[in-house]
Amino acid sequence: MFDVHCRHCGASVQNIFVDLGSMPPANAYLEEAALANAEKRYPLQVRVCDKCWLVQTVDYADAKEFFECDYAYFSSASSTWIAHAKDYFEKARKRFQLNSESFVLEIASNDGYLLQNFVRAGIPCLGVEPTSSTASAAAKLGVPVHQDFFSEKLAVELSEKGKQADLIVGNNVLAHVPNINDFTRGLRVILKKGGAITIEFQYLLRLIDGSQFDTIYHEHFSYLSFFTVITIFESSGLRVWDVEELSTHGGSLRVFACHTDDSRDISLNVNRLLAKERDWGVQTLKSYAKLQPTAEKIKEDLLRFLNEIKMAGKSVVAYGAAAKGNTLLNYAGITKELLPAVYDTAASKYGKYLPGSRIPILPQEQLLLDKPDFVLVLPWNIAEEICNQHSELIKSGTKFFTAVPELQFYEI
C-alpha cells in the first residue's frame, strides 16, 4: 500500500477507513455532448490517522477540479436549509450583538443563502466563494462576494485591507479544504480581537453510526470528529469554547471558536461532547471499522430490491440528483438499466447526466406526469421535505423510499 501522510499532523496514514472503488467526482454532471467522451475516475479511498484521528481521502486530483466555475450545488435549493440559515442568523445577531458597525465574513458563501439575511438587516458582510456559478447568484441578491478559495494568504490580504471580522462563518467548508492547517491559520489571521468563529460540518460519528457512506466523495477531503477539530484549531492558535449538535445533512456539529487568549469561558458542552466521544472510542482504531461492511449491505439490499422491481415489471426512478446519490449509485454500479431517470428542481442539474452512471436528469415537474411505481430518494437528508412536496403522488400510489441507512418507505 503506498504511503500517505496525514494532512494535519504529517504522520504516515496506513489504516483504511473505507474504500468505495473508483468513480468520477460527485458533482461532475455531464452535458449531453460530453457523453461521447470517457470520464476521469479517481479511487475513492479514505484512511484514518492513528495519531490525530483525522479521517481523510487519499488525493488523486487538485481541489480546483472539484469546485469549478459551473459548480452545480446551490444551497438555496432546499427550504429546510434556508430555514436553518435564517434561524442561525437570528441567533447569531443576538448572541454576538451584531449591528451596522459589525463585519461578518462567510467562507463558502455559495448562492447567498445565509448572507442575504445580514444584507437585509444592514449588517456589513462579505462572502468568500470560489465558484462563479454560485457567486453570481449571490451577487444578484446584493451579497458582496470575493471570488476565490479561502487561504492564509487571502486572509492576510483581506486583513491588510481592514477586513478582519467580528464573526466568521463557515458552513460545509472545513471538510472541503485539502490544506486544513492553512485554512485554520487563515481563520486566526482574519479574526478580529474578541471576534468569534462558527463552523458547521457533517459529524463523523453520525456518519459512521448512520452508515452514511454516500456522504463520502472526493470533494470531502476530511471527515471530522470534535476531538480532531479541537486538535487542529488549537494547533493554529484558536480555542473552541462551545459546540452544538445539529440534525442537518444527516447530523452535523456547529463549533464555536475564538483566539486562544480570548476571555470567553469554555461551555460545559465542550467537555460533555469530548466525554461522549471517548466513550464512543474516538481514539480507538476498531471504532472506524464499522462503515465498510454496512456500505456493502446497503449496496446488496438496494441492488436486490431494484432487480425485484424490474422482474415484477414495475417502474422505478430516482429523485434528487445529489452528490451523495452519485457515490451510492457508482459504488453499487447502478446505471440507467435499473434507474432510467432522476428528477431534480435545480436548473443547474436537469438536462444533464449523472457522473459515472450517466442517468439522465429530468425536471421535477416531469415526475408528476411520469407517475412511476417507485421513487428512490437519493438525498435522504431532506426526504421528509421532498415527500411532503409529493404528497399527492404518494397518495396516488407511487412509493417513495430511501436506501441509507437501510431501505425505508415513506407514507403520507
Does 389 bind ligand DWN (CB under 6 A)? Our answer is yes
Region near ligand DWN per CB under 6 A, out of 132-140, 141-149, 192-200, 317-325? 317-325
Q: Does 382 bind ligand DWN (CB under 6 A)?
A: yes
Alpha carbon of 265 to those of 64, 98, 239: distances in Å? 38, 20, 10
Picking from 353, 389, 350, 348, the residue whose alpha carbon sits closest to that of residue 366 is 350
Complex with ligand DWN: residue 229 or 382, whichever CB lies closer: 382
- What's the closest the beta carbon of residue 381 comes to ligand DWN, in angstroms? 5
Other C-beta atoms lying within 10 Å of the C-beta of residue 210: 18
Q: Among candidates 220, 205, 213, 384, which has minimal Cα distance to 298?
A: 213
- State yes or no: residue 270 binds ligand DWN (CB under 6 A): no
Min dist. Cβ of residue 30 to ligand DWN (A)? 15
Distance, in Å, from the CA atom of 112 to the CA atom of 76, rounded to the nearest integer, reads 8
What is the chain's Cα-based Rg?
A: 21
Q: Rule CB under 6 A: say whether 387 interacts with ligand DWN.
A: no
Q: Does 251 bind ligand DWN (CB under 6 A)?
A: no
Asked if 330 interacts with ligand DWN (CB under 6 A), we say: no
Q: Evaluate whether 233 touches 181 at the Cβ level (below 8 Å).
A: no
| Position among 379, 401, 403, 410 found at the interface with ligand DWN (CB under 6 A) | 379
Q: Alpha helices, DSSP H only, in 96-173? A: 115-120, 132-140, 152-160
Q: For ligand DWN, which residue of 109, 110, 381, 402 counts as binding (CB under 6 A)?
A: 381
Interface region with ligand DWN, contact rule CB under 6 A, candidates 47-55, 179-187, 281-289, 339-347: 339-347
> Cα–Cα distance between 237 and 155 in angstroms, integer?
15
Asked whether position 321 contacts ligand DWN by CB under 6 A, the answer is yes
> Using CA of residue 247, residue 288, residue 403, residue 70, what is the dihedral sign?
positive
* Interacting span for ligand DWN (CB under 6 A) from 155-163, 190-198, 236-244, 319-327: 319-327
Q: Candidates 43-51, 141-149, 225-233, 344-352: pick the segment binding ligand DWN (CB under 6 A).
A: 344-352
Helix (H) or strand (E) holding 366: helix 364-370
Q: What is the residue type of 354? A: L
Dist CA 218 CA 23 (whole Å) = 9
Nearest approach, Cβ of residue 219 and ligand DWN (Å): 5
Return the axis-axis angle of helices 323-332 and 291-311, rounded to nearest 10°: 80
The yes or no reply on residue 44 touching ligand DWN (CB under 6 A) is no
Residue 68 found at the interface with ligand DWN (CB under 6 A): no
- Strand arrangement of the beta sheet that strand 252-259 belongs to: 145-146, 125-128, 104-107, 165-171, 191-202, 252-259, 238-246
Is 323 an interacting residue with respect to ligand DWN (CB under 6 A)? yes
> Can residue 85 be called a binding residue for ligand DWN (CB under 6 A)?
no
| Piece of the chain touching ligand DWN by CB under 6 A; list 130-138, 158-166, 301-309, 384-392 | 384-392
Among 346, 362, 367, 394, binds ligand DWN (CB under 6 A): 346
Minimum distance from residue 187 beta carbon to ligand DWN (Å): 19
How many angstroms separate the CA atoms of 232 and 214, rounded?
25
Between 103 and 400, CB nearer to ligand DWN: 400
Residue 172 in the binding site for ligand DWN (CB under 6 A): yes
> DSSP per residue over 8-28, as a string?
TT--B--EEEEEEEEE--TT-
Candidates 78, 102, 222, 228; binder of ligand DWN (CB under 6 A) is 78
User: Could you say whether residue 345 binds ligand DWN (CB under 6 A)?
Assistant: yes
Q: Which residues of this protein are in contact with ligand DWN, per CB under 6 A?
A: 73, 77-78, 172, 219, 249, 320-324, 344-346, 349, 364, 379, 381-382, 385-386, 389
